[in-house]
Amino acid sequence: MEIVIRELLNGNVIFWIFCLITIGGAAYVLFSKNVLYASYGLLVSFLGVAGIFVFAGGEFVSAAQIMIYIGGILVLLIFGIMLSSNKKAGKNYLKIENVDMPLSLGYAVGLSLIIILLIVKTKFDTANLKPLQHIKNLGYDLMTDSVLVLEIVGVLLLMALIGATFIAKNDE
């Protein structure tokens, strides 16, 4: 966390851009009236978080953020929205209503302030950390010793997507 605070205090413009991208995407999700467009805002926010992870020294976490959250979960969410939407309802079939926007905005601001306070007050000891290169070792292990587990997880995700498509199809 000291790395993030140091980057903020040094005025690194690219880091600030990633922070603004993350906050902008999250704000778009909050204020969007369409579920599909809100998922696009979530995509932008995930990309911003992946950029922040790069600055914090977590290249593997950044790559995992892109592959897992954007490549898997968000695509599955968009497919779920598109397959389960009821187009017979007219133009407003993907519209959502925020019932109490000021209360929701108050909660978001309050939680953000609490998180910022916790980050600023916490002391992290990063002096003993050494940069490790275990991304190569992890990739080698996934493709040699744990390839069966990797393939089983891929097949299970494919089966879940096929099952969701079968459930959402129209019986015409």
Q: Examine the domain organization and report whether 141 and 121 are in the same domain.
A: no
Q: Examine the domain organization and report whether 49 and 92 are in the same domain.
A: yes
Q: Examine the domain organization and report whether 95 and 161 are in the same domain.
A: no
Total domain count, the chain:
2
Answer yes or no: are the C-beta atoms of 48 and 132 closer than 8 Å. Answer: no
Q: Examine the domain organization and report whether 114 and 142 are in the same domain.
A: no
pTM beyond 0.85: no
Tell me, what's the pLDDT at 147? 84
d(CA 20, CA 12): 13
Tell me, what's the pLDDT at 48? 92
Tell me, what's the pLDDT at 3? 66
Where residue 88 sits, what CATH number does that domain have? 1.20.120.1200
Answer yes or no: are the C-beta atoms of 164 and 79 closer than 8 Å. Answer: yes
Q: The domain containing residue 150 runs over which residues?
A: 132-172
Q: Examine the domain organization and report whether 66 and 104 are in the same domain.
A: yes
Tell me, what's the pLDDT at 110? 93
Tell me, what's the pLDDT at 156? 85
Q: Examine the domain organization and report whether 72 and 98 are in the same domain.
A: yes
In 3D space, the residue among 38, 116, 35 whose CA is nearest the CA of residue 83 turns out to be 35
Tell me, what's the pLDDT at 8? 66
Q: Examine the domain organization and report whether 121 and 143 are in the same domain.
A: no
Write phi, then psi, for 34 (nearest 5 degrees): -120, 130
Tell me, what's the pLDDT at 114? 93
Answer yes or no: are the C-beta atoms of 3 and 56 closer than 8 Å. Answer: yes
Q: Examine the domain organization and report whether 108 and 145 are in the same domain.
A: no
For the chain, 172 residues long, the average pLDDT of each consecutive 10-residue run is 67 81 90 84 91 82 84 80 66 66 84 87 68 68 82 84 72 53
Q: How far apart are the first and last CA of the chain?
A: 55
